[in-house]
Amino acid sequence: MANKHDNIRKEEYTEEELRGMMLSWLPPSRVPESVRIITDTSNFHMVDFDDVVILGGRPYLIRHCEREGRFTIDEQPKFWVKRAIDLTDGSKKVIKMVFHEKFTTSVGGLTFKFFRSPKKEARILDLVRGHPKFMQGFSVKDTEGNIVRIIDYIPGSTIDNRIEAQAKGHKEYYYNHFPDIFSEFISLVEAIKFLHDNGEKHGDIRRDHIIYGSSEGMYRWIDFDYNYWHQENMFSYDIFGLGNVLIYLAGQGNVTAWHLKENAPSVLEKIGQDDMNIVFRHRVANLQKIYPYISDQLAFVLKHFSGGVDTFYSDTGEFLDNLYETQKDLI
């Protein structure tokens, strides 16, 4: 809906103007008595609740920090990622300020170097503009040249929350819910292929980086700011992430050796090292050993991510070809 602030874009606002704009979106009791206006976000720790950050000529009223499950990797608050209200139209945004994080981490005993890159996320936001399977937003430079990303907030829940809530038992889930979820998964893999075809990685493919937007009724990839120092195959880590998501979706959650030991010790006896995830050795990848009604074609795909694998998916195109075959069995 158009409103009186729609066309406002300017570099300077008075406190009075901003307080007036806030009254359009907040009850009077929530409008702060004084407003701190920020144009340089270099020190993101200073950007606080009720501040107004001016970016690209638009004023954004800062709300809370984002936390895990949505835009970050652990349970800590991420002070460089804030919820905000665009005071010109009242829309909810997620504002990601510049944080050049670098770290090495061990994945299955192998060391990876990761980088948090605002440039990468800004580039991908441009690339995926209008694409229904990616979060939407844009980047602007603040007065100090920091690349700040302004993301449309997606109200909803992560894919794993929805999967676990869908059915009481796996068999019911597999026959009644999984085919639809699998179709959604294919479209999400197609979206990753779109990135790869354009020379970009997602960089942090995890199930909690897939959000189901409750108002729009669709899944989207979020968070593209990670990059990793790849070796021969620049996309293999992304493909590994896709495999983990598929295993999770097919199993209605991760099935671990510990879970089997507690709940189905006789099934655990049938599971060998070759059936476990090639990297996360406590998770079962060959789920057909547990759920024998899983189709052979799906089991074939899942085994590509197991310790018993002989051939790997070297690109998302190969993976997708097998997913399309699998879909025929599920319909």
Q: Which residues bind other proteins (CB under 8 A)?
A: 100, 107-110, 113, 115, 117, 119-120, 199, 227, 229-234, 236-237, 240, 278-279, 307, 309, 312, 314
Query: Least distance in Å: CB of 179 to other proteins?
Result: 28
The Cα–Cα gap between 43 and 26 comes to 27
CB of residue 300 vs other proteins: minimum separation in angstroms? 16
Residue number, 50 or 274, with CB nearest to other proteins: 274
Rounded to whole angstroms, how far apart are CA atoms 221 and 212? 9
d(CA 229, CA 116): 11
Q: CA of 208: how far to CAs of 27, 157, 248, in Å? A: 33, 9, 11
Supply the minimum distance, in Å, between the C-beta of residue 118 and other proteins.
9
Q: Are 127 and 133 in contact (CB under 8 A)?
A: no
Query: Residue 138 or 312: which CB sits closer to other proteins?
Result: 312
Whole-angstrom Cα distance, residue 214 to residue 222? 15
Q: How far is the CB of 61 from other proteins (least distance, A)?
A: 29
Paired tokens of 2: 């158009």
Burial class (CB in 10 A: 0-12, 13-18, 19+), 211: buried
Smallest distance, Å, CB 229 to other proteins?
A: 6
Nearer to other proteins, 69 or 194 (CB): 194
Pick between residue 89 and residue 300 the one whose CB is nearest to other proteins.
Answer: 300
Kindly list the strands in the beta sheet with 37-38, ordered across the sheet, starting from the edge strand earlier in the chain.
37-38, 52-55, 58-66, 78-86, 92-96, 147-152, 137-141
Question: CB 282 → other proteins: shortest distance, Å?
Answer: 14
Q: Shortest approach of other proteins to residue 235 CB, angstroms?
A: 9
Closest approach of other proteins to the CB of residue 200, in Å: 10
In this complex, which beta carbon is closest to other proteins, that of residue 125 or of residue 278?
Answer: 278
